[in-house]
Structure 1
Amino acid sequence: MPEILVLYYSRGGSVARLARQIARGIGEVEGMSARLRSVPPVAAVTRQSAPPVPEEGAPYVESRDLVECVGLALGSPTRFGNMAAPLKHWIDGLGAEWASGTLVGKPAVVFTSTASMHGGQEATLLTMQVPLLHHGCVLLGIPYTESLLTSTRSGGTPYGASHVAGNDDDPQLSDEEAQLARALGRRLATLARKLAA
């Protein structure tokens, strides 16, 4: 069964919840499934290396995950209008995959979470798309035919799925955020299935 890689970095749990909703949407498309993976944290100074397998959550991504997937959903919390350092660090190490065209022609979407409503969600989603364009991905967003996009009072943008965690860093998605994330997963899986055929 064709798989779509749902790859993310999450600290507070919001991005991981969005990833699971996107994966759920992917699974709603006949013949498609999701492969959840995460990236390890990075630090300027390390005292010990991170375990090769995370203690909880999705396993860490491997090169073969990119090769074997027919599509990609990429998620990160927002850090000053950009993706978090662990995801950027991972992307910066994809020179061999870029040179060999591993992601060329594969559909891709992005998703994020912020503490505040205007905390840089759209800037983060747009900057996450730039390396995907360099890799030759076919980018998708959420069209306004998804009526919740015009009525949500929390996350959700035409550039990708999003969540507003608030000052308390609440990882619980609103109904609108969850539904828009699932819709994005379905959209990604539908196109990936067509392209894989």
Structure 2
Amino acid sequence: MSTPYVLILFYSRHGSVSEMAKYIARGVNSVNNIEAKVRQVPPVSEISEAIADPIPTDGAPYVTLDELTDCAGLALGSPSYFGAMAAPLKHFIDQTSTIWMTGGLIDKPACAFTSASSMHGGHEQCLQSMMTPLLHHGMIWAGLPYKHKALINTVTGGTPYGASHLATATRENTLSKDEISLCEAQGKRIAELALKLAN
């Protein structure tokens, strides 16, 4: 029997969300008997006929619908664009109606993570925009509890709705210690919940 996995699925334009995914994966992999599977979605082209190469030039492989269906838990990541998830991630989610009809994600835990370039750039609203379709899929939402001291002390990213990163123009990909801690905590929590719910 194959090892269960948490699918860490994201879209990252400038690298911040991709960097967060690495630390969430580290948190998942700190839990025994489950592993992280890191995947990304391809960009959406303004030209409707354009087709992305099947293998990205760098970073994680592109996700398949089967990888989403077969996951034990899901961590969804996107930059915040005007307080909502990025179009490429929404485009992928819009293709999951067959999974919804078969109930493939019901009772599996889910969480989300995001990055925004200003303190009030829509961190929490973006996380909620990713939560909504997952609730329609019957998934169980898992935020970050305040037992994590970094959530109280952070002056950068971090919310009880999920991990976030405050990106700046000068250091977009540099996560603070608190942000790293919260990403790892979120990965660990979703992995532990995935195992509990699977049993």
Contact preservation (8 Å) 1:117, 1:166: no
2-structure distance, mates of 1:152, 1:135: 32
Contact 1:71/1:108, CA 8 A, preserved across alignment: yes
**Aligned counterpart, 1:61:** 63
Instruction: Determine if the alignment matches structure 1 residue 186 to structure 2 residue 192.
Output: no
Number of residue-to-residue matches in the alignment: 197
Aligned equivalents of 1:154, 1:172: Cα separation in 2: 11
Q: CA RMSD in A?
A: 1.1
TM-score (norm 2): 0.96
Amino acid at match of 1:126: Q
**What CA distance in whole angstroms lies between the structure 1 residues aligned with 2:135 and 2:161?**
14
Partner of 2:133: 131
> Structure 2: how far apart are the matches of 1:80 and 1:43?
19
Helix, strand or coil at the partner of 2:80:
strand
Quick one: percent identity of the two aligned structures? 51
Which SS does the other structure have where 1:23 is aligned?
helix
Written as runs of structure 1 = structure 2, the 5 A alignment for 1:111-190 is 111-168=113-170, 170-190=172-192
Separation (CA, whole Å) in 2 of partners of 1:99 and 1:180: 34
Residue number among 25, 29, 32 corresponding to 1:23 in the alignment: 25
Work out which of the residue numbers 87, 90, 96 in structure 1 matches 2:89.
87
* TM-score normalised by L of structure 1: 0.97
Gaps of 5+ in 2: none
Runs (4 or more) in structure 1 with deviation over 3 Å come to none
Q: Would you say 1:43 and 2:45 are equivalent positions? A: yes
Specify the SS of the correspondent of 1:144: coil
Whole-angstrom distance in 2 between the partners of 1:12 and 1:77:
9
